[in-house]
Amino acid sequence: MPDQDPNNVGRWLYSTKTKYEFQFGYSRAVRHGNVIRVAGTAGLDEDGNPLQGSIVDQTRRALEIVKAAIEDLGGRLEDTIMTRVYVSDVAAIESVAVIHGDFFRDIRPATTIVQVNFIDPRIQVEIEAECVYGGADAKKPA
- What was the pLDDT predicted at 135? 55
Give me the pLDDT at residue 91, please: 96
Q: What pLDDT was estimated at residue 60?
A: 98
Report helix, strand or coil for 82: strand
Q: Return the CATH superfamily for domain 3-132.
A: RutC-like (3.30.1330.40)
- Number of C-beta neighbours around residue 38 at 10 A: 28
> What's the whole-model pTM score?
0.90
Q: How far apart are CA 12 and CA 6, in angstroms?
A: 9
Q: Where are the domains of the chain?
A: 3-132
95-127 core/surface letters (b: 16 or more CB in 10 A; e: else) = bbeebbeebbeeeebebebeeeebeeeebbbbb
Averaged over successive runs of 10 residues, the pLDDT of the chain (142 residues) comes to 83 88 90 95 92 96 97 95 97 96 97 95 97 63 48
> By the 8 A CB rule, do 118 and 30 touch?
no
Q: Which pLDDT does position 98 carry in this prediction?
A: 97
